[in-house]
Amino acid sequence: MNVGKTLFSQLMDFVPWSSFARIVERYQGDRYVKVLSCAEQFRAMAFAQLTYRESLRDIEASLSAQTAKRYHMGFRHAVRRATLADANESRAWQIYAELAQRLIAQARKLYAEDSFGIELQNSAYALDSTVIDLCLSLFPWAPHCYSKAAVKMHTLLDLHGNIPSFIHITHARIGDVRVLDVLHFEAGAIYVMDRGYLDFARLYRLHQALAFFVIRAKSNTRMRRLYSAIVDRASGVICDQTIALIGQSTATDYPERIRRIRFRDPETHKPLVFLTNHFELPASTICALYKARWQVELFFKWIKQHLRIKKFYGYSENAVKTQIWIAVSTYVLVAIAKKRLNLQLPLYTLLQILSVTLFEKIPLQQAVIHQQPPSNGPAHCNQLNLFSN
């Protein structure tokens, strides 16, 4: 089936091109375009992500060196850096944001049954953000502080499979908690957050949407204990209480009862206090859920190390957002291919193989068959366990 197809073309086959064409038509992305359609722009930028290209000139030179295979990769004409730069500057980044959401929807279905170490019937998400630093002189539209520019990537990570289910890109000055205003909460789902998202009015809206939260408490949160449940201190749980807020504004913002769990970390011996509106789960499970929030931190670290979102090919806001969304699409696309082809490799290893074999005309399964890890051996790097089967 894949005879004559490059590995790059096989990977691009997982893109829902018919849906992408409808998205492009809705935004009129290909209007008046004679060379380098939106589909070709996506292919060129995805190629840059997969092969770690440093610049537009680097992309142009790499594709020009493979003239015989370029057409079979989906390019009708040679890719010129000036044309690609103009496309990144002028074509709506929302085109690639919507494509990423379509791919995310596919990936979440594929990874829905994956376990993250906690047996839950509910969906579980970790919410956090990461700052992507920029140069103020080159990106004056994104001021962060006196001498720096930056954008912030707010991410809601599905803990089943570590697939981002929601991404929102803003200026770095936007507070983390404001992302709760644009999130659509899923009834019955559990949202795990750090204390930067502690806003009781917003959490009460989450509660009214029949969703659950697990969040760190701040030391100055005023509350009154109503009663305590029996706990097993050997598990690290110090107390499990039902409380009411008594602050002047917080009591109005969140008028119902909240569960307060105090836990001592067995490694650092640091006491942690969690607040949640879920009264059914064991206290130890609530603590384990908060520990699983670290997966979103690993996700940020991983994509910054292995995708091109720290060095940008264009300086406008549209170009930056286009590159970030195509980077996310590439990550999810490789995750989809890994799952559908049942490839028993960490995502990192698969990306490394693709980076040096994209022009090869062999089946993707054959390209990775000699790289299958031994069944009894440890992962190559602890950090990458997050993305292995």
Neighbours of 102 (CB within 10 A): 16
> Environment class of residue 75 by beta-carbon count within 10 Å: exposed (0-12), middle (13-18) or buried (19+)?
buried
CA distances from 315 to 86, 171, 273 (A): 11, 14, 43
pLDDT at 380 over 60: no
- Residue 381: pLDDT band (50, 70, 90) is very low
Q: Is 223 helix (H, G, I), strand (E, B) or coil?
A: strand
The confidence score (pLDDT) of residue 178 equals 94
Name which residue leads in pLDDT, 282 or 365.
282
233 or 27, which is more confident = 27
Give CA–CA dist 141/314, Å, rounded. Answer: 13
Using DSSP's 3-state secondary structure scheme, residue 267 falls into coil
pLDDT of the residue at 307: 83
d(C-alpha 312, C-alpha 62), whole Å: 18
pTM of this prediction?
0.86
Report the pLDDT averaged over residues 47-75: 88
Task: Report residue 385's pLDDT band, with 50, 70 and 90 as the boundaries.
Answer: very low
Alpha helices in 341-381 (DSSP H): 347-357, 364-368
> Domains of the chain: which residue ranges?
7-96+319-387, 195-292
Contact 62, 53 (CB under 8 A): yes
- Dump the DSSP string for 36-51: S-HHHHHHHHHHHHHH
The residue with greater pLDDT, 119 or 140, is: 140
How sure is the predictor about 382, in pLDDT bands with cuts at 50, 70 and 90? very low
6 and 361 Cβ atoms separated by less than 8 Å: yes
SS3 content of the chain, % helix, strand, coil (to 5): 45, 20, 40
Tell me what pLDDT residue 310 has.
81
Please give the average per-residue pLDDT across 301-328, as a whole number. 90
Distance CA 123, CA 141 (A): 37
Rounded to an integer, what distance in angstroms lies between the CA atom of residue 173 and that of residue 96?
24
Residues 6+ apart with CB under 8 A from 189: 122, 123, 124, 125, 211, 212
pLDDT of residue 373: 53
- Provide the sign of the torsion angle of the four alpha carbons 274, 190, 101, 336, taken in this order: positive
pLDDT higher than threshold 90 for residue 157 = yes
pLDDT band at 38 (very low <50, low <70, confident <90, very high): very high
**Residue 32 Rama label (left phi>0; alpha psi -120 to 50; beta):** left
Average pLDDT value for residue range 204-233: 92
Residue 348 has pLDDT above 90, yes or no: no
Q: What is the pLDDT of residue 176?
A: 93
Q: What's the farthest any 2 CA atoms get from each other in the chain?
A: 74
- What is the residue-averaged pLDDT of the chain? 88
DSSP string, 162-188: TEEEEEEEEETTS-GGGGGGT--PPTT
**In the predicted model, what is the mean pLDDT of residues 93-102?**
96
How many helices (H) and strands (E) the chain has is answered by: 14, 9
Q: How confident is the model at residue 378 (pLDDT cuts 50, 70, 90)?
A: very low
- pLDDT at residue number 26: 95
**Of the candidates 341, 306, 350, which has an alpha carbon nearest to the alpha carbon of residue 327?**
306
Cα dist from 43 to 17, 79, 161, 162, 358, whole Å: 12, 10, 25, 24, 12
Q: Looking at this protein, which amino acid is placed at residue 356?
A: V
